[in-house]
Amino acid sequence: MAPTTEPVKTVEWQGRQVPVWPMRTINYDLLLSQDPEEVEKVLKACLEDGYFQLNLDSIDGRRMLQDREQLLKLMNRFFDSPLEKKNEYGLIDSHLGYEPVGNRTGAFGAGSKDGYEMLKVSRDEIQQGSPRVPSPIKNSGDLHQLEQVIGSCNTITKVILAALSTGLGLAGKDRFENSHRNDRPSATTLSMMHYLPAEVTGQHKVGHQKHTDISSLTLLFSDQWGLQVRPPGECGALEMGFVEPKKNCAFVHVGDSLRFASGMKFQSCIHRVVPFDPTEHRYSIAYFLRAEDDTMFMDSEGRYVTAKDWHDQKFKAFTDPWFYQAQAPKTMILGGMIEAGADDPEPVTAYAPLPVQAPA
């Protein structure tokens, strides 16, 4: 993690003090102009931390912030729909369709299931004008809104990708953008997530399990507490701590594919979602920029694989029961990132959903 002379802030969660990890904030306006200092700053964030806050409070970024607000209204309408309408197509593909609550392992490992429902919309399908989305949002206005958000997210992540290529001195075909072209098939996805209150899901359906993302870059929006990261350290990762939501910012983190493409120079972000306030409905929007399906790289096992192969193998690991996940190498769920120590001092059976106040 980036050196800091400031004491680490903490917040009380489930009866103990948990770190709120500091992190760099990158100015999108300066990055769009390829400002040398900002390029160096985002490069260091990816080399040392694997994540950063992206300040979008500028003429070029505010449109995305406005689009996010409209998308949240769409999400509220969709997730309030009857299950049979939301699940009209089911999970069509690993990066496309609807997933109900409890399909994956939860935040606290064995014995827990996830506490969210999710709708995933493929960028490729939106671009081709034939998206398979459930009927509650299959109208011209909602489809236009999805197209706008995906277009804005795609532009933002490509600006970041270009800055990282420049920062590493990459040129020509070696630049990261050349494996993320818009006209080539990929599993790039807009995911909309709704975490339900504990009184609805029960004690053993909570949050989102600890993992690194499959993607190259993840652009994440949420104004609510709950996201935790585990910063890299010299002797393994540090303990899990919260990400403080920051006004007019998106949280950006590096995924496995970009880590592999960088020759393991970049850090991939170990993270999970926990019920910070178990009484609330929590909403988040994630854009997963993924490499073209046939992009080749060496993974954390030393194998040469395509981006599609890695995506499919890791997605299977995500949805496998905990028993099978425990037998899989950690290089799959954690992308080969080094980890040390237990995340939680108490087993999942001791988890009690206590409402808390977010710090001022």
- Give the type of residue at 359: P
- Burial class for 235, CB neighbours closer than 10 Å (0-12, 13-18, 19+): exposed
> What pLDDT score does 316 carry?
84
> What pLDDT score does 342 carry?
57
Q: How far is CA 180 from CA 152, 186, 355, in A?
A: 15, 8, 42
CB 166 within 8 A of CB 39: yes
Q: Distance between CA atoms of 219 and 156, rounded to whole angstroms?
A: 8
For 179-228, give the DSSP string: GS-TTS-B--EEEEEEEPPHHHH-TTB-SEEEE--SSSEEEEE-SSS-EE
> What pLDDT score does 347 carry?
41
- Determine how many CB atoms are found less than 10 A away from the CB of residue 347: 12
pLDDT, averaged in runs of 10, over the chain (360 residues): 61 92 96 97 97 96 95 97 95 90 80 88 91 92 96 97 98 97 96 92 80 96 96 71 96 97 96 92 97 95 93 84 71 82 49 52
CB 356 within 8 A of CB 277: yes
> What pLDDT score does 102 carry?
84
- Burial class for 173, CB neighbours closer than 10 Å (0-12, 13-18, 19+): exposed
Q: Which residues make beta-bridge pairs with 251?
A: 53, 220
CB 95 within 8 A of CB 120: yes
